[in-house]
Homo-oligomer: A and B are copies of this chain.
Amino acid sequence: MDMKDILQKVASGALRPEEAEALLRKNPADRPYEEMGFAKLDTDRKARSGFAEVVYCQGKSDAFIGQIFKKLYETEGEVFGTRASPHQYELVKKVLPSISYDPISHILKQEKEKDHIGCIAVCTGGTADISVAEEAAQTAEYFGSHVERIYDVGVSGIHRLLSQEERVRKASCVIAVAGMEGALASVIGGLVRNPVIAVPTSVGYGASFHGLSALLTMINSCANGIVTVNIDNGFGAGYVATQINRLAERGKV
């Protein structure tokens, strides 16, 4: 039954308008967004993806950053921003005094109390990777996941990771954060049964080429069950880990 038939039946009374509306496939071009001139806020996103908007602060102009946080806070009752500078923290604090800032992860947030379900393990090769790891961990927590932090378990002292094997295996998903040669993801991949999200970091020097070496390592892993996100993309890892964790938990209740 195409649009013409449906409309004929509405005209003839054979179909009620509400019924017709349901039959007409929802036009993707009609999904809502808010036109702001310089931007088109995707107000359909939460319904579509199950995740509220998050602010990527890097490069946002001083003129707008405060408003954006305020607006999102009014809509959601909470707000979360990544890659924020201390200067941006000062700007946002003026309009949202209760906002907090974590200089390690560069996250700006004002969070509602919530339950944290399931389990995501966030592991790092070294201490320099913690900045990216915290972006991942706090993202997952903001979206309602429980997180276990297992830091500084790089392969140059493999016993540290082996001693944590049980905690790693219990997670529905493991985030492996490592720079330099990024071998951590492969070793974890060989120990667990759930997915490993590998996050290469730009930690290193010389031929690490700002994270390219770790990225290639992770993409080429000889272990199964490993997928990769962009260099330093803790947010992306925390997001996908939450998707997986939600799937793992949804049938349990």
In the complex, which residues of chain B have a beta carbon less than 8 angstroms from the beta carbon of A223?
155-156
Q: Quick one: closest B residue to A15, CB to CB?
A: B11
Of A29-37, A72-80, A88-96, A108-116, which stretch is located at the interface?
A29-37
A160 within 8 A of B: yes
* Interface pair A11/B8, CB less than 8 Å apart: no
Q: Quick one: closest B residue to A5, CB to CB?
A: B17
A4 within 8 A of B: yes
- In the bound assembly, the distance between CA atoms of A172 and B164 in angstroms comes to 29
Q: Quick one: closest B residue to A241, CB to CB?
A: B195
- In the bound assembly, the distance between CA atoms of A224 and B239 in angstroms comes to 7
- In the bound assembly, the distance between CA atoms of A195 and B128 in angstroms comes to 26
A203 within 8 A of B: yes
- In the bound assembly, the distance between CA atoms of A153 and B202 in angstroms comes to 29
Binary CB contact string for chain A from 41 to 84 against chain B (1 if under 8 A, 0 otherwise): 01011001111000000110000000000000000000000000
Also in contact, A228 and B226, with CB within 8 A (given A27-B25, A48-B193, A208-B220): no
A136 within 8 A of B: no
* Interface pair A186/B239, CB less than 8 Å apart: no
* Interface pair B216/A40, CB less than 8 Å apart: no
Question: Which of B159, B217, B229 contacts A183 (CB under 8 A)?
Answer: B217
In the complex, which residues of chain B have a beta carbon less than 8 angstroms from the beta carbon of A231?
205-207
* Interface pair A222/B126, CB less than 8 Å apart: yes
* Interface pair B206/A187, CB less than 8 Å apart: no
In the complex, the 9 A-B pairs of residues with the closest C-beta atoms, listed nearest first: A251-B251, A206-B231, A183-B183, A227-B227, A7-B17, A29-B162, A251-B252, A156-B223, A247-B248
